[in-house]
Amino acid sequence: MSATPPFAHDRPADGCRGAVHAADRLPAMAVFLWLLPHFAIPAGPAYRPPAAGLFLLLWAVFAVLRPQKIRLRLSDPGRLRATIAAFFLYCMVSASYGVWNLGEEQRLVLHLTTGEITYLRVVVERLLQLVLVLVAFEVVRHSRHDSQRLMRWWLQGMFVAAGLHIVTYLLTDDVLAQRAASFNEGNLAGLYYLLSVFMALEYRRSVSITRGTQFLSAALIGVLLCRSSAAILLLGLLLSLRYVVLGRAGWQRIRRAVAVFALVPALSFAMASAGLDFGIREKLFEEELTANSFSRIDRLESISAAVQLFLDSPLLGHGLQSYGFLSNDLLSGPLASMYDTSYRRIPNNTYLELAAETGLIGLCLFVLFVASLIRLIRRNGGAGRRHWLLGNLSILMYLNAFPTYTVVFLWVYLGIAVRRATVEQEPAAIVPSSRRRPRLPCVTAFV
């Protein structure tokens, strides 16, 4: 099998030549997916907003000026659009409630050593972020481009991001900058590369073994370079789960499960003993406050504050984005003496953030959307649904240690997964080959 470069140019199929003059133009969707991993200049300042968010914002402005270019399907498989709309409308109500609630407590302004932050500005920013990520989800899942192209463009962007990650290690000795590279922080990079692993596995299964292997290698390198404990642990766990599930039902799966339960702990112990555990043991189990253990202690204190806020108002919460304005007084332990009120705190746990800020109502609406999405993929995802479900499972587990649920690439991944499950039919038999490109339908535009 001859190797094909992952960025090889795709010519239109013979049947499309001359039929669509726009086929030779670079699709805007490709640029959008390439920009997803770019949050900052490697070893340099962050973008405000991130590159993909700015591109999406410009596209939204263009869409408002030329609405005739927008084509969204009226059908709503799985009632995803309805559940998203309900969640967003409730967030608007929660924002209004937050203005009243914090106003009653004289907490509408957060006084930091770096300056004052007003609640109104913060909550409006969050609502705008929600609009952008929901637009991204709708645009991707209703795209005119098929999922093979969407996957390829995502993976090409990931390939470049992994290259930038390697370059970052050569440019700086700053550990945090090395972990982040083109992202804001290593945690964001970890989830992006983890999702890319499962997308590369699906691309390898359904499109091209050679290119899929190249993309998979780059994604695995990215997971290791970002040194995210959550990403590394979930990678081992979910790949082990995939190995067990791929076995034939019966004794083969049992034998594989026994092998995994025996080998994974032994391998983990060997890596920790050799000092090759990427600092995970210190991050997770060190009792003293160190550079590595600080992240865990900070997260536990943040989670404790979120739980207290939720118990104070379990049904409605305290208002969208209210956590940072109420949590400072709830700190305890070694963090309370170290915290210098120079930044607005976040819970670093999406579920507890929603529970503390929007209460059980907001959390249930969010869970309802996620459950509808997973059910849709499981029922209609075809032979490749295991990879999309593993990607969704990684998101659900990663959100326990993730700074926000309004990251664009997260919703783009969900959009591609839903498009694969609801718009396209899984071919009866696909023989992946690097020598042959599948015929793709003619496409003309971004959406």
DSSP string, 263-288: HHHHHHHHHHHTT-STTHHHHHH--S
Question: For the residues 384-412, what does the mean pLDDT come to?
Answer: 92
How does pLDDT run across 226-281, given as a tens digit for each residue? 988 889 889 988 888 888 877 777 777 777 777 777 776 666 656 555 555 555 55
Mean pLDDT, the chain, rounded, equals 81
| pLDDT confidence of residue 236 | 87
Distance CA 401, CA 384 (A): 27
How does pLDDT run across 139-185, given as a tens digit for each residue? 899 888 999 999 999 999 999 999 999 999 999 999 889 999 999 98
How does pLDDT run across 3-12, given as a tens digit for each residue? 444 444 444 4
Please give the helix or strand (H or E) that residue 118 lies within, else none.
strand 115-118
165-169, 196-200, 403-407 — which is least confidently predicted? 403-407
Which ranges constitute the DSSP H helices of 67-146?
A: 80-104, 119-141
pLDDT for 433 beyond 50: no
Pull the structure tokens for residue 11: 């010519």
What's the length of the chain?
447
Question: For the residues 43-64, what does the mean pLDDT come to?
Answer: 85
CA torsion angle 210 30 200 138 (round to 10): -150
| pLDDT confidence of residue 60 | 77
- Residue 116's CB is within 10 A of a number of other CB atoms, namely 8
| pLDDT confidence of residue 271 | 56
Please give the helix or strand (H or E) that residue 172 lies within, else none.
none
| pLDDT confidence of residue 1 | 42
